[in-house]
Amino acid sequence: MVEGTDWTKIGWIILGIMALALILALTLLALTYRSLKRIQIPQDAGFFTTLRHVPLTLVIILDLLDLALDFLSAPVGWLILSYFGLERLRMLTVVESLIPGTQFIPTLTGAWLLAKAGVRLPEPTQLRRNSR
């Protein structure tokens, strides 16, 4: 153990960050609820197409939930995305939530920025078809 390190203080700081992230996520969700319910996604849209249609606030909400709840954000994110009809985003959200140490990395926000910048990556369904 390192001398002079106050682990209790560090724990409280981390807990405070997690609580603040949860409060921000829930506040953003409440403020953007109506606009999220009106999202129109094409029926045949894949992951990146869906990501291009959702607002930045949704991906920030999901990343904040991941920061606040760690691996417990997987079922919460799954429910939120299912409720808004965004099933194409569920798998990445769940996988990212379950990988240890990624809570401080806004993965979904980064993917959204890439999608909005016009980066064209093959959809996961296209990769499966091409590998056969």
Please tell me the pTM assigned to this model. 0.84
Q: Among 6-15, 61-70, 78-87, 91-100, whose mean pLDDT is lowest?
A: 91-100
pLDDT at site 130: 55
Domain ranges in the chain are 9-120
Is the pLDDT at 28 greater than 90? The verdict is yes
Q: Which of 41, 22, 39 is nearest to 30 (CA)?
A: 22
Is the pLDDT at 127 greater than 70? The verdict is no
pLDDT per position as a tens digit, 33-53: 999 999 999 888 888 889 999
Give 9's contacts (C-beta < 8 A, 6+ positions apart): none
